[in-house]
Each structure stands twice: as C-alpha cells, then as structure tokens.
Amino acid sequence: MDTSPLHDAGLTDGEIKVYLALLEVGSSTSGPIVERSGVAKSIVYLLLERLMQKGLVSCIVKEKTKRFQAAQPTKLLEYIDERGERLQENRREVERILPQLMLAQAMARKSEARMYFGFRGIRTAHEHCYEKLKRGEEYVFLGIPAEQPHEQHLYWQRDHVRRAAAGIRCRLLFNAGTDPATIANRNSYRGCEAKLMSSDIVTPAQLEMFADTTLVILQSPEAVCVEIVNPHIADSFKAYFDEYWKRGREKKRKIEEKGKPTRRRA
C-alpha cells in the first residue's frame, strides 16, 4: 500500500505502522501490535498515545489490561480537516507576530536606528521620505489603525497634498473597521491607492517603508516611532507589504462603481 498520503496528512512512519497494524488485528493489547507493526516495544505506547490524541485510536481497560482499537478509516478525513483548521489558525497567529520577528531580525543586523516620540516625532520621521524619494517613486504603509486622533487625519490630508505636488506615489493598507469615508478620502488624492487588509489580523504596529528606510510606528499607549535605515531590511518589509497588498480588499473601485448605471446589452 502507498502510505505517502498518510505521511502528507501528518502521520509519522511509526504512527502509520501502528495504525495499519491495528486495522488488521482489531482490538488488541500491545504485544500483537508490536509483532505486526515491527515497531520497538519501548515506543509502542508513545505511538499509541499520539494516535489517541489524533482521534485515530481508542483504548479500553478490560480485566486490568489495556486493549487498543483503530478508529474507522473515515476518521482520517476528519483528522485532516481539523489539522487544516489548526494550520490556518497557526498561520494567522504567525502573521500577527511576523512584524515583531522581522523587527528582531532587523535590529540584529548592522543598521542605523533612531527613536522618535509623540505624533510630532512620527511626522518628522515620515517626512524623511521627501528627502529620499524622487518624483515617480513611492512609499508604502501597512497596518494603519482604524481609529486615529482627529489631528492625525488633518495632518495626513495636508501631507497628501504635499506628496501629490512632489510627484510621489503611495499605497496604504488600513486595518479592518476603518471608516469607508477615510478610504475614499485617501483615494481621492492623486497618486494614492488605499485598501483594507483582507485578513482579520489587526497589526499592533504600523510599518512605513520608503527607499532604504523602515518606520515601525506605535500610536498607543504612547506615540513612538523607530526609524531603521538599512536597504535589505526595507526590502524585506516591502515584500511583506506586497503579500498583504495582493490580498487586500480594494474599496476604491467599489466606491467608484457604486451608483453607475447598469449597461444593458442591445
């Protein structure tokens, strides 16, 4: 029998041997399982325990003796489905902490880093993009919070006017829950594209990347910004941004298409 599908499902060689042996011998003590499967007696109970945790083996005690029984093979499909759900949940958790992991890697590399405090400090760091970007180049922003102080909205509206005049483009990814009016406002500026992140993950920090610079921004409980100047780090975070950009829900098109008359074919 080709057991590779069972390997792909997440079972080890030993688990497969024990499970197949149990299917063949039926309800059994550990002795016949060892004999049929060929696994070492010292590890058979460990393998049986793993299979029980996966719902593929059950155990009863009869006359003070443990007897094991293989679950119906259809249970393998249920196990695969459950494993898939766990992997998706694990992926979401890893995505949530990925910026922190990337930042830890970034700080270990040789780079220039500065700290800025308060909203004025964040703005100062952001405005370095005007010193580093040429007309036609862009900055990208990931994880913009759904709620920001009113003064921040006013600042960004003024800054987008400056950015458009400088011929600099930008792409913005906002966290879920952002007011559609905010998305529409940002998309109204020349050279700006704004989307909502498709994931239900809300990033704890904002990331802005331009040229050789990465800004890691927190707005609460205290406004603070870490500016990292390193081209390799910036490229890594841009790749991270691009992955989310592909998955983002674009609101601009929906807003533009809303209200358009439906064309009927003649």
Cβ–Cβ < 8 Å for 243, 163: no
Which residues lie closer than 8 Å to 146 by C-beta, 6 or more apart? 174, 175, 176, 177, 178, 179
Question: What CA–CA distance (Å, rounded) separates 193 from 62?
Answer: 68
**Residue 162 in tokens:** 């400056």
Cβ-contact 125, 116 below 8 angstroms:
yes
pLDDT, position 254: 47
Residue 126's pLDDT is 96
Q: What is the pLDDT of residue 264?
A: 36
pLDDT of residue 256: 46
Tell me the C-alpha distance between 219 and 221, whole Å. 6
Structure letter (DSSP) for residue 28: B
Q: pLDDT tens digits for 65-107?
A: 888 888 888 888 888 888 888 888 887 777 777 777 776 666 6
Q: Which residues of the chain have pLDDT under 70?
A: 103-111, 199-201, 248-266
Q: What are the structural domains, with CATH classification, of the chain?
A: 4-76 (1.10.10.10), 98-257 (3.30.870.10)
**Structure confidence by residue, pLDDT tens digits, 130-149:** 999 999 999 999 999 888 88
pLDDT at site 152: 86
Cα→Cα distances 227→123, 125, 207, Å:
12, 7, 10
pLDDT on residue 107: 61
